[in-house]
Amino acid sequence: MYESIAVVGATGAVGGIILRLLEERSFPFERIKLLASRRSAGKSVTFQGKKHPVEELTPEAFEGVDLAIGSTPDEVARDFAPWAVERGCVVVDESGYWRMDAGVPLVIPEVNPDAAFTHRGILASPNCSTTQMVVAIKPLHDAARVKRVVVSTYQATSGAGVAGQRDLEQGTRSRVSGGDYRYETFAHPIAFNLIPQIGSPKHEGYTSEEMKMVHETRKILGDDSIQVCPTCVRVPVSNCHSESILVETERKLSVDEARELFASFPGIVVVDDLSAKQYPMPLNCDDRDEVFIGRIREDLSSRNGLAFWCVSDNLRKGAATNAVQIAELLVSRQAAAAQ
């Protein structure tokens, strides 16, 4: 057990879910610190039935802290993680800053748990769209080796933060009433619209969000030969990312075999009955920790291709839940070593 833990970014949307999960999952600790920016310092947050003060995020705030779980912008994570490590604290970081650092393990507990135990003070949690896709393809990769992935994402506005969700709600109200609304987060209206760009332009017409899916998938699975072709789209959905995924495997997988592989893998729930109109949808997957899979079918254009639909709560499994699960891995290793 870590005696003292900290949640960095405790007043943010993901930080709030991290706190709820620590309580729901009875995460073991003796003391907790809630850290945030100077602007939020002095506020109080209710946790485990008590009000806890929010402290300013400074190097000294990590004195005596054993474990920190952080959900902050990249530039904040760049600074605070070394502060914490210098003071003997282990950091589980939700930002994108450390993910591709060669010395930092990128961990999904259902997929590569052993990587968590190679850390040198910092562990990274993947991008939300990568996380659900890699959980989905892992059992297929283990059984038949995934060679190529073509993925189109349908990403909820919650992925752009509270302001993104506000843009959807207020923009929709304005559009319906015939009024005007000045969008805070998105470059185009999201109400009644799709935006086929998430992130900045990067490699050969792909965006930063798309290239995260390429690089992070290879790092997590430990296989640089996997080819990934992503298209990331923002859609007018409040929460839960959806993905249409096509994989090509070295060995052909039947639909029945794939369904069995999915169903037996930890963290996956299969909802797949087209005739009964049963398949994963964002409204049904909200506030859940699992990755939901349906519409499983053979690719009509490729002998070893398999297509399926995948939905997951991007604020939970795509962010907060995965980070807390990483912390639980570290606690379990501590407990095993103590026996």
Instruction: Tell me how far CA of residue 98 lies from CA of 7, 45, 78, 110, 122, in angstroms.
Output: 17, 28, 8, 20, 8
The torsion angle over the Cα atoms of residues 233, 237, 238 and 244, rounded to 10 degrees, is -60
> Tokens 């939970």 sit at which residue?
316
Provide the token pair at 247.
Answer: 């994989």
Question: What is the distance between the alpha carbons of residues 286 and 27, in angstroms, rounded to a whole number?
Answer: 22
Catalytic residue, candidates 89, 241, 285, 310: 241
285 is catalytic: no
Q: Which helix (H) or strand (E) holds 50?
A: strand 50-56
Question: What is the distance between the alpha carbons of residues 287 and 278, in angstroms, rounded to a whole number?
Answer: 19
128 is catalytic: yes
Provide the token pair at 105.
Answer: 């393990």
Say if residue 297 is exposed, middle or buried (CB neighbours under 10 Å; 0-12, 13-18, 19+): middle
Bridge-based pairing of strands 44-47 and 50-56 is antiparallel
* Measured distance between the N- and C-terminal CA atoms of the chain, rounded to whole angstroms: 13
* Contact indicator for 92, 327 with CB cutoff of 8 Å: yes
Question: What is the distance between the alpha carbons of residues 172 and 190, in angstroms, rounded to a whole number?
Answer: 8
- Pick from 151, 153, 164: nearest CA to 196: 153
Catalytic residue, candidates 89, 128, 232, 285: 128
Q: Which residues are catalytic?
A: 128, 241
